[in-house]
């Protein structure tokens, strides 16, 4: 992997509320939604953003260690700052702001309670902040007719809904605007704002609305939690519904790379000095890529091209540990562990038998499961027989994990 610059974007995930309207014993962000906490699901979207970001989780001070465990599970190798929240949402945001890295220019504030927010909405907010230079909030048109009423419930009039937007998070701002507005709000004794756009607008800065996403709805009541569970069950039964199924799943993956005399050979996670290399955006390790495809398809998570892309600058020359580590993290987030994997390499060279045990040990340790590596030639037929390149074909068996993870359950 090449050295990546410090992120210019930070996401503050506020998760320090108690969730009084939800009525669970534990704070809302630590309530389970189809086997994963709201915080873990919210963080999965943040880590699904296009570019790396600084992630700050603001958690109740009773749950800092728990939040760290959830964050490291969701973030894999990426580091996450966890800070204690305050008595109000605004105070929690301020605590998060204090943890921003110096190089951050754009700040998103996101409610952990909006656990199903798509990563693409986070990216859209970042893009809009950076292109306009002012505050951006996602919002949805209001569909109900809205009435203004008296304290006694008498209807006083109808509000023009065309002029209304129901706003969501993540809300994004140039750092200096949010910081200045937050400082001004703390200094004054103004009414507690329920969102950051309110704070920033009160300080006189422009804030605009972009199209929100219905999936970014806030989980406030038990009814909302039920709606979220139903959506997960209906939309992505393979990997996000509660793990009531116990049957293993299988997947297949195939990858091909052409030989390239200017590259070093990396295959089955190993460096092969003196052998012809393979072309590719990453290190061209066809065996590892076939394994990733087999694992992703077994879990119903798409394929390696869709997950990693074919032009991400962070993946130039990346080796198998990067791909396998991220694939394993995604499987775990979807509720699976690896049962076993087999991969067969098809080509004339390199001769695998001398290093088979080494390759199996390395891949097995990366996937925390048995991996078998085999090889074959094609009797001089086809592109592998002519020595133009290598193919690899993999089969993966994955196992659903039980819903409750004892390591992540909260003990007082």
Which residues contribute to the site for ligand CTP (CB under 6 A)? 14-22, 28-29, 58, 85-89, 92, 111-113, 218, 220
Smallest separation, CB 137 to Mg ion (Å): 18
Which one of the spans 16-24, 137-145, 246-254, 270-278 is the region binding Mg ion (CB under 5 A)?
A: 16-24
Indicate the length of the chain as a whole number.
Answer: 412
111 binding partner (options ligand CTP, Mg ion, none; Cβ < 5 to 8 Å by kind): ligand CTP
Q: How far is the CB of 370 from ligand CTP (least distance, A)?
A: 41
Beta carbons of 149 and 158 less than 8 angstroms apart: no
Query: Minimal CA–CA distance to 343: which of 294, 272, 297, 386?
Result: 294
Among Mg ion, ligand CTP, none, residue 126 binds (CB under 5-8 Å by kind): none
Task: Decide if 183 contacts 202 (C-beta within 8 A).
Answer: no
Please choose which of Mg ion, ligand CTP, none residue 32 contacts, taking the beta carbon within 5 to 8 angstroms, the exact cut-off set by kind: none
Q: Which residues contact 55 (CB under 8 A, 6 or more apart)?
A: 10, 11, 13, 43, 46, 47, 71, 75, 78, 80, 81
- CB-CB contact of 228 with 214 (8 Å): no
Residue nearest to Mg ion (CB): 17
Nearer to ligand CTP, 205 or 217 (CB): 217
C-beta atoms surrounding 153 within 10 Å: 7
- What's the CA dihedral at 100, 102, 106, 107 to 10 degrees? 10
Q: Which is nearer to ligand CTP, 231 or 254 (CB)?
A: 231
Contact 273, 403 (CB under 8 A): no
Which stretch, 15-23, 160-168, 363-371, 402-410, contacts Mg ion (CB under 5 A)?
A: 15-23
Nearer to ligand CTP, 113 or 288 (CB): 113
| Residues 22, 228: Cα–Cα separation, whole Å | 13
C-alpha 195/C-alpha 14 separation (Å) is 11
Instruction: Name the residue whose CB lies closest to ligand CTP.
Output: 17
Q: Which residues contact 170 (CB under 8 A, 6 or more apart)?
A: 11, 108, 109, 110, 117, 121, 122, 125, 138
Cβ 110 to ligand CTP shortest distance, Å: 8
Cβ closest to ligand CTP, residue 225 vs residue 363? 225
**How much is the CA Rg of the chain, to the nearest whole Å?**
25
- In the complex, the smallest distance separating the C-beta of residue 71 from ligand CTP, rounded to whole angstroms, is 14
- CB under 5 to 8 A by kind: which of Mg ion, ligand CTP, none does 16 bind? ligand CTP
Q: How far is the CB of 122 from ligand CTP (least distance, A)?
A: 15
- Closest contact distance (angstroms) between CB of 178 and ligand CTP is 16
Tell me phi and psi for residue 156, to 5 degrees. -100, -20
Which is nearer to ligand CTP, 165 or 220 (by Cβ)?
220
- In whole angstroms, how close is the CB of 60 to ligand CTP at the nearest point? 8
Q: Which residues bind Mg ion (CB under 5 A)?
A: 17
């Amino acid at each position: 992997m090449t050295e990546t610059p410090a992120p210019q974007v930070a996401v503050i995930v506020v998760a320090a509320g108690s969730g009084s309207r939800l009525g669970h014993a534990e704070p809302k962000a630590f309530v389970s939604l189809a086997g994963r906490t709201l915080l873990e699901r919210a963080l999965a979207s943040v880590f699904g953003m296009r570019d790396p970001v600084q992630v700050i989780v603001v958690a109740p001070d009773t749950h800092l260690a728990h939040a760290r465990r959830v964050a490291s599970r969701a973030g894999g190798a990426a580091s996450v700052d966890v800070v204690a929240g305050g008595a109000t949402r605004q105070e929690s945001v301020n605590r998060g702001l204090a943890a921003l890295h110096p190089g951050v220019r754009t700040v998103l504030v996101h409610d952990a309670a909006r656990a199903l927010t798509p990563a693409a909405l986070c990216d859209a907010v970042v893009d809009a902040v950076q292109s306009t230079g002012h505050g951006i909030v996602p919002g949805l048109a209001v569909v109900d007719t809205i009435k203004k009423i008296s304290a006694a419930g008498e209807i006083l009039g109808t509000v023009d809904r065309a002029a209304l937007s129901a706003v969501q998070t993540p809300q994004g701002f140039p750092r200096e605007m949010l910081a200045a507005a937050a400082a001004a709000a703390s200094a004054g004794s103004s009414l507690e704002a329920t969102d950051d756009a309110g704070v920033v607008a009160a300080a006189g800065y422009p804030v605009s609305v972009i199209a929100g996403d219905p999936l970014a709805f806030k989980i406030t009541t038990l009814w909302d939690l039920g709606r979220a569970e139903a959506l997960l069950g209906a939309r992505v039964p393979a990997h996000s519904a509660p793990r009531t199924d116990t049957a293993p799943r299988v997947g297949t993956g195939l990858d091909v790379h052409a030989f390239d005399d200017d590259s070093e050979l990396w295959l089955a996670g190993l460096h092969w000095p003196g052998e012809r290399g393979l072309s590719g955006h990453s290190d061209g390790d066809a065996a590892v890529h076939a394994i990733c495809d087999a694992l992703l398809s077994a879990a119903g998570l798409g394929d390696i091209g869709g997950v990693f892309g074919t032009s991400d600058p962070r993946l130039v020359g990346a080796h198998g540990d990067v791909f396998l580590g991220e694939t394993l993290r995604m499987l775990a987030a979807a509720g699976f562990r690896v049962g076993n994997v087999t991969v067969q390499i098809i080509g004339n060279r390199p001769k695998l038998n001398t290093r088979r045990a080494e390759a199996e040990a390395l891949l097995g340790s990366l996937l925390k499961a048995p991996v078998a590596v085999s090889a074959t030639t094609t009797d001089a037929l086809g592109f592998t027989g002519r020595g133009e390149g290598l193919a690899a074909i993999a089969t993966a068996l994955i196992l659903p994990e039980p819903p409750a993870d004892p390591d992540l359950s909260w003990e007082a």
